[in-house]
Structure 1
Amino acid sequence: MCAKNILWIMCDQLRFDYLSCAGHPYLQTPNIDALANRGVRFSRAYVQSPICGPSRMSFYTGRYVRSHGSTWNGVPLRVGEPTLGDHLSEIGVRTALIGKTHMRADTEGMARLGIDPESLIGVQVAQCGFEPYERDDGLHPDGPYAPDPAYDDYLRDRGFGGSNPWEQWANSAQGEDGDILSGWLLAHADKPARVPEAHSETAYMTNRAMAFIREAKADGRPWCAHLSYIKPHWPYIVPAPYHDMYGANQVVPVVRSGREKENPHPLYASYMEERFSRVFARPGVRERVIPAYMGLIRQIDDHVGRLAAFLEEEGLTDSTMIVFTSDHGDYLGDHWLGEKELFHEVSVKIPLIVVDPSRDADATRGTVTDALVEAIDLAPTFLDAFGGKAKPHVLEGRSLLPLLRGSPDWTRRAVISEYDYSQRRARVDHDVPVADCRMTMVFDGRWKLVHVEGMRPMLYDLESDPEEFVDLGDDPACEAERARLLGLMFAWARNPANRITMSEEQIAAAYDTELDANILIGYWDEAEVDAARKARGDAE
């Protein structure tokens, strides 16, 4: 049985452990938990890069960063790179975006090929293959990704005016004297956003998703709706009543140790000195920011509940696969860091819940699997769920349907994640050429190795050190593990997915067809050709 529709919900910067179904002791997420009870929760899901743009490009292409080439935020996804939207449109699925992609279009490549950005093809190329039902990447109105989003007009039409309503209303608070207090500043995270909750980004995008689903249902075609929430990504500010729903006494203890500062890896040392890391090391900052982060998640959970009720009202629950995930995590002060970008679990591991409506998935409902899965697995999963033919020569991930439907024959030896630090201070601190600013993580479920070009590796044993405090990257006793993991990484690196225009089946079918095409290479005379033709006929 194939799904008729897919609702793919992605949060931005949501940690894997900030859900009640994942064990958070204070944060309640009953509606997301309900999805977990109806489907499968993946406890070891990893992104292909711990930063927005490259991670999302891997989600949308089903390919590793080394393959699609969009290595950092703002690096365009090249023209011609096949995406989920391309694969699904081939089988008649309407694939729409509602929210964020963080994609930069390859405008130079489009110009070189004579592609009009306003044409149907131009829009698809510029939008990761999605129909941009509502694209909104935040950072209004000056951000490079969505320069004039409809959300600003929506706010102005409701009396929330100004040159930048997104910032001045949805992401700012108001002081006692009427001053606008920027939500960018962490000091204001405990205050409510000026915008009423019903007109906040999360509420607005939920409404737009329901509008699309209603329209798509009337259209009658199968659909994939990518609802991509901008939160709980910074600015860390949330409208009432969510702004004070949680307090400092509900902030879980920070996960960091003085041992991490004793002779740290040079790259790690540089990241601890980034402004976004130093601020989270200051007393009281986590207690101010994390309650807002929790409030943003609780708000998302309430809107997930709205969506679930809406699907039920529309009679779509039994025909719609629902996927809930995030593009990466957030350090929030753990390991002396802010933001994301390195490879500790809180940064590179994500929540992933999949509700498969098929009866074949009944046996796994409400279960948790510890299978190693990757963000690139979603694109082939969606293609598989819609009954499309697999494309392993293009899609480097693997369909999760066997796991969702109880197959024991699904294993992965290790997960891979990549990061380009060329736009961070570590490059300058250590005088590294831009081309060499590469890190690659390989994790086999216990041992996590980070290969750093031109420097020693980092190594963690998550069995004996689940908090990842002890870097064994130069420990002589761990040389065998380092060599083994490097072997896994090099085996992965030796198999780049560059031949995407011809499948293995097509190549196999083309074997020994020269004679059929009257290409007579290596034959001596006509008699030899006739004998070869006769032999082929006999073989047939």
Structure 2
Amino acid sequence: MKNLLFIGVDQLRWDCLGPCKAVPVKTPNLDRLIENGVSFDRAYCTSPLCTPSRASMLTGDYAFTHGMGTNCDMYHALARELTRPERLLHNDLRRAGYRCGFVGKWHVGVEKGPGDYGFEGDAPAGYGNIVKTKAFQDYLSSTGLSYSIEPELYFNPDQQTMAAGRWRGPQASTPCHFLTDQIIGMLQGLAGGSAPFFATVQYWDPHGPHLISDEFYGVTDRTKITPWNNFSDDLSGKPRRVKRERDDFYRNHPRTEEELVAYIGYYCDHVAMLDCEIGRLLDYVDQSGLAENTLVVFTSDHGDMTGAHGGLIDKGLPYSEAMRVPLIFSHPSLQSGRRDALALNMDILPTALSLLGVSYAPRQAEDLSAQVLGTSQQGRDYLLAEYHGLRFLYSQRILVSRDNFKYIFSPGDMDELYDLDSDPGEMRNLAAEADYADVLSRMRSALIDETARYLDPLRDCVAKFNGQWRTHSGQFDVTSAYLTEAAPRGGQRTCPD
């Protein structure tokens, strides 16, 4: 293999595909990619939010290192642009002689887009509204296509926060069809040269609002949709902000099973639309002969709550629905199968570069090539993830252990501990249960170690909230400032004569 095709999507749940599918969504193309590829069953996003997760995938660093901890275009953004663009991993591919192309959603800076960092293509900066771009308008004009929008569901009163409806037009008039044409055109151009290439298409789908084209509207059998097992969650074992965010930001969130099933149906129709377009792209890769020398990678920037836990909507929450993502590596030389190692989506490019034989400077991400190749199954003992807030700044750290416990540290509220084997829906917070005191202690200690290892700026907070008051971060400490090294810890000092 010498080329790399990275297919990314926005807000796709891990349990919509393959053998772990929890809904009756039609995804024959992505199911085929899983069947013929290497898939990671326990893959997570670094942060359940677009900008930090996307910047982490492109740099291999945590958001607390690359600086974009919140969405770059929010009023409370921690950073508007990348502070260390030299860490973008496509730079290593370019130095190795690769041509690099970018199609679709960027969302890693509001003024600078991928073209400003050496990518070929004309992807817009910021979140990007593809339907307003000249390229999309020219496409509709040249093909004689048109569409109209018919909203059918809003999440707030007075027809605010459109959630779903109809895209009154054929599938060929949709943004995801247009993006598929764009990436196929880019591949044709890149493959025509002598240089190897790295091309990525980043679909906006299935991010809401779920506007379903004529061919896919109602394609999901609603009678086969069952409510999420944790829809009955009253949120009593979770931080206060979870309930407030659900009830105040999305006041018309699903409250009955009928409303939930209807919303899941829209989401599944949207995923089916996306699967069709990815199928067109994969068919082109096969039929053009590119499959033999192109590593294909597929993932999502994060998941989607889709009404879980009593009607939670969107992302920005530390629960599995928003944090777990599909992760697939595919090439004819790879032995297909499922991998159990803990993986982060920021591991993708370091792993791909390793498989391609391209050197790069160390990153905070891990190289999963041994797991992809099947020479090792182990991987990391603990997986650290982060969250810095969506509509307001809010620090959290998430830790998942190899034995499938999950610890959520919220400095301003209660801790959470879940046994993901016995409680995959994260309904029972074990943090206050005496029987799990040893597990909680182990997870807290591991979080102290992991945040210290990665130089997480929250590391002193993690340590001190959990009983380690002497830290080594270099932060001013009043005890150390007034005691000499010779003075005994906790001992008495006498005044000099």
TM-score, normalising length: structure 2: 0.82
1:452: how far off? 0.9
The runs of 5 or more residues in structure 1 that have no matched partner are 108-116, 118-122, 162-168, 176-181, 425-433, 499-540
2:380 is aligned to: 412
SS of corresponding position for 1:219: coil
1:155 to 136, 140, 148: 140
- Residue 447 of structure 1 pairs with residue 417 of structure 2: no
SS of corresponding position for 1:370: strand
Q: Distance in 2 between matches of 1:277 and 1:347?
A: 20
Offset from partner CA, 1:96-139 (integer Å, 9 cap, x none): 1111121115x6xxxxxxxxx7xxxxx65845x53334448766
The runs of 5 or more residues in structure 2 that have no matched partner are 73-78, 153-158, 457-497
Instruction: Kindly provide the amino acid, as one letter, of the partner of residue 401 in structure 2.
Output: D
Offset from partner CA, 1:216-269 (integer Å, 9 cap, x none): 011221111111111111111110110111143132322325454335422323
Offset from partner CA, 1:142-190 (integer Å, 9 cap, x none): xxxx9745223433555567xxxxxxx47x1289xxxxxx99634x53x
SS of corresponding position for 1:492: helix
SS of corresponding position for 1:396: coil
Q: Distance in 2 between matches of 1:257 and 1:279?
A: 12
Q: Name the larger-Rg structure.
A: 1
1:130 to 116, 119, 139: 119
Change (3 A) 1:282 1:185: farther
Q: Distance in 1 between matches of 2:282 and 2:237?
A: 50
2:190 is aligned to: 216
2:436 to 475, 478, 481: 478
1:278: how far off? 4.9
- Residue 340 of structure 1 pairs with residue 338 of structure 2: no
Offset from partner CA, 1:68-89 (integer Å, 9 cap, x none): 1101111324343311221211
Offset from partner CA, 1:14-66 (integer Å, 9 cap, x none): 10011244334522222112112221111100000001111111111111111
Q: Distance in 1 between matches of 2:38 and 2:63?
A: 27
Is this contact kept in 2: 1:5–1:320, CA < 8 A?
A: yes
2:201 is aligned to: 227
Is this contact kept in 2: 1:260–1:469, CA < 8 A?
A: no
1:267 to 238, 241, 244: 241
Q: Distance in 1 between matches of 2:16 and 2:406?
A: 22
Is this contact kept in 1: 2:232–2:309, CA < 8 A?
A: no
Q: Distance in 2 between matches of 1:225 and 1:183?
A: 37
Change (3 A) 1:458 1:233: same
Q: Distance in 2 between matches of 1:273 and 1:345?
A: 20
2:177 to 203, 227, 245: 203
- The RMSD of aligned alpha carbons is 2.7
Q: Distance in 1 between matches of 2:160 and 2:299?
A: 25
2:391 is aligned to: 423
Is this contact kept in 1: 2:60–2:349, CA < 8 A?
A: yes
Offset from partner CA, 1:346-374 (integer Å, 9 cap, x none): 1100011110343xx2xx32x11111011
SS of corresponding position for 2:289: coil
Q: Distance in 2 between matches of 1:237 and 1:370?
A: 35
SS of corresponding position for 1:325: strand
Q: Distance in 2 between matches of 1:450 and 1:103?
A: 26
Task: Work out the number of aligned pairs and report it.
Answer: 441
1:429 is aligned to: none
TM-score, normalising length: structure 1: 0.75
- Residue 78 of structure 1 pairs with residue 78 of structure 2: no
2:340 to 357, 370, 380: 370
Q: Distance in 1 between matches of 2:142 and 2:125?
A: 17
Is this contact kept in 1: 2:60–2:365, CA < 8 A?
A: yes
Q: Percent identity?
A: 26
Q: Distance in 2 between matches of 1:316 and 1:232?
A: 27
Instruction: Kindly provide the amino acid, as one letter, of the partner of residue 301 in structure 1.
Output: D
1:536 is aligned to: none
2:365 to 397, 402, 420: 397
Q: Distance in 2 between matches of 1:223 and 1:44?
A: 29
Instruction: Kindly provide the amino acid, as one letter, of the partner of residue 80 in structure 2.
Output: P
Q: Distance in 2 between matches of 1:174 and 1:472?
A: 42
